[in-house]
Chains A and B, each alone.
Chain A
């Protein structure tokens, strides 16, 4: 196709702009990665630009020996695995009846659940309720109060609605009950959407922060994000040694950079592989709305 000079100039401008902006999405992480491998003197005297200066592993050796950090990592891994499994189970169990024409209460129950997307419970009554239920300072406070995401549930239900009902008749003739229908037929047919939704949940659990702020006073139960926040606000906890007393090849600047990378690496590692599912899910969700 023939292009005018103006259009060509625009193309050039557009490519340049988007490539520059896109690199700012990853540059901050690369910079912190470089800082985490640099000597504290280089890091604090503004010498590091995306490439480590006075390369050292001291910061990482110190960080990877930090038991408090590993404990928080363990909590996060636990809630990500167990939480994602439980959320998926109850999301599917809720979505399935709501997709069945022979479930008489599907409309009022659906309405009751969707309404909560517009009317959020305010923070304080929510906090008091969770406390009444007895979840204060329990690891389950990170899972149960946010067990089902209405948004995800609606996506699954929409997908179930699209499964042809001829299958039901065939299954019924084979004497298949509704539990088996769900677990042996519907779930098998919805693997792509289930993968998408479990990834939504898993990232949500990995990034769990607000519920920990609200419900966990006991630091041994803190998930990774909460531990990170505590490190950022208290440099003594971050260093875990007296930086003034000794001669160390790390300082709070390099340690902070390393903890940020530590919490981000798992997400970045799975990201390229998972990206296509996320995009699909975001579009699926928007169709309903």
Chain B
């Protein structure tokens, strides 16, 4: 009897998913619901061609990929490309720029919508709240080309920022051409464009908080400020945690569009990031294997960070998985 049960367990373990699937009548299911299979077919082809094949294509990071030989005939070189990277001056610079900007984004840009959402929440006049929110959401829908253009125009020699500086008796500054200002401009323009949009999720989470908690706090004599600190913020923590994790997985992916549209050759030394570098060296100059190695490096770091922070978050039961 005992042996029989063990035997059965082994069978279920071995057979796994696909066996059960066939047993449950995959063929019958296809015959009966062929329309569903037909519907999803283009979607599956799309994901294979444009998501999975490029993902597998990352193996050219371990090759000396030559475009005419293709992926199957190009020679394998093991970790050669990664070794080259480590001794490559450009790579050090680009990696430093990427990591620094990513860090500044995390410190300044990530908390901004949380603070703004809390401030929104204190506005009682509905018409003011709606108007202010509408204005804050607007820049999200502009492209980085447009926002980049706006930034360049406003900060130009004849732009309004220098006009104001002149009125106050300061010398004009060519902001976009000077290395010292580049990262600050990236962070401020990033906050300007996305902070309003970022509040939406937090505001939804705030609306979901049970009002009786606040009523009880009022009876206990808690001020609005204390209610925010001891009720709203703690109850936002799960949302913050999840958004933080989703963010950290893309830690080194700063967004090609933003940096590409703010960068000039004069600010390469502080602003050239992995994605803009990969574009120039890979797409334009054809160093496919080397730049794919950089891309792979970036993904691995992102996944490692996600994994580490997820473990930390799980200790307080707010992980992604």
Contact = CB atoms under 8 A, between A and B. Distances in A.
Most chain B CB atoms below 10 A, which of A32, A46, A153, A259: A46
A283 B201 contact: yes
B255 to A, nearest CB: 10
Contact of A267 (B56, B141, B253): B141
A229 B158 CA distance: 20
Contact of B54 (A100, A129, A179, A289): A129
B224 A7 contact: yes
Contact of A93 (B42, B49, B51, B53): B42
A11 B40 contact: no
Interface in A38-59: 43-46, 48-49
Interface residues of B, number: 92
Nearest to B22: A104
A10 B122 contact: yes
A122 B137 contact: no
B288 interface: yes
A127 B283 contact: yes
A244 interface: no
B149 A46 contact: no
Contact of A124 (B43, B160, B282, B299): B282
Contact of B146 (A120, A148, A264): A264
Contacts of A182: 39
A96 B46 contact: no
Interface in B291-321: 291-292, 295-296, 298-299, 303, 306
A19 B128 contact: yes
Interface string A1-41: 00010110011001101110111111011011001000000
Contacts of A121: 50-51, 54-55, 57-58
A80 interface: no
Nearest to A116: B51
A181 B225 CA distance: 52
B216 interface: no
Interface of B: 17, 21, 24-26, 29, 32-33, 35-37, 39-40, 42-44, 46-47, 49-58, 60, 119-120, 122-123, 128, 131-132, 134-139, 141-146, 148-150, 152-154, 156, 158, 160, 162-163, 166, 192, 196-197, 200-201, 204, 223-225, 242, 246, 249-250, 253, 256-257, 260-261, 275, 278-279, 282-283, 288, 291-292, 295-296, 298-299, 303, 306
Given A108-B17, A124-B295, 11 more contacts: A102-B29, A102-B32, A105-B21, A148-B43, A177-B35, A178-B36, A203-B141, A209-B257, A229-B261, A260-B150, A286-B201
Interface of A: 4, 6-7, 10-11, 14-15, 17-19, 21-26, 28-29, 31-32, 35, 43-46, 48-49, 90, 93-94, 96-98, 100, 102-105, 108-109, 112-113, 116, 118-130, 133, 144-148, 153, 177-179, 182, 203, 206-207, 209-210, 213-214, 225-226, 228-229, 232, 253, 256-257, 259-260, 263-264, 267-268, 271-272, 275, 278-279, 282-283, 286, 289
